[in-house]
């Protein structure tokens, strides 16, 4: 629930100009920060890596519909991924790779292997 509140502030023309200039400087600063951060994220490379062979299998994995509990584990075991997943931090890298796929961003760099 929101209420409208009317506030009247009496300021001189000079004070109003100072306030507007300060706000304008804040807006300019924020715009520059957004541009800088946007440029920084566009040029940053993912720090995590995953072998292409594993990424290809994970890409196939997310295409499957598993209608029963445990079928995912069977598929992972049958495709030889359990050995790779069981090594820390690979299990977390797998999650980051899949999350990046879901979000449409590259969180993990795919490398040859």
Q: What is the pLDDT of residues 81-101, one digit of tens each?
A: 888 888 878 888 888 998 988
Distance in angstroms (rounded) separating the CA atoms of residues 51 and 56: 9
The more confidently predicted of residues 43 and 97 is: 97
Residue (of 81, 37, 32, 42) closest to 61 by Cα position: 81
- For the cut 90, the answer to whether the pLDDT of residue 53 exceeds it is yes
Alpha carbons within 13 angstroms on the beta-carbon side of residue 103 total 10
- pTM exceeds 0.85: no
């Amino acid at each position: 629930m929101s209420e409208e509140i009317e506030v009247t502030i009496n300021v001189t023309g000079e004070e109003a100009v100072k306030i507007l200039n300060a706000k304008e400087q804040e807006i300019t600063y924020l715009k520059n920060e957004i541009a800088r951060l946007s440029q920084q994220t566009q040029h940053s490379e993912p720090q995590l890596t995953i072998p292409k062979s594993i990424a290809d299998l994970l890409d196939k994995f997310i295409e499957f519909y598993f209608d029963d509990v445990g079928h995912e584990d069977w598929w992972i075991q049958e495709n030889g991924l359990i050995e790779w997943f069981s090594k820390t931090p690979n299990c977390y890298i797998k999650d980051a790779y899949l999350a990046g796929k879901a979000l449409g961003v590259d969180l993990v760099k795919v490398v040859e292997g």
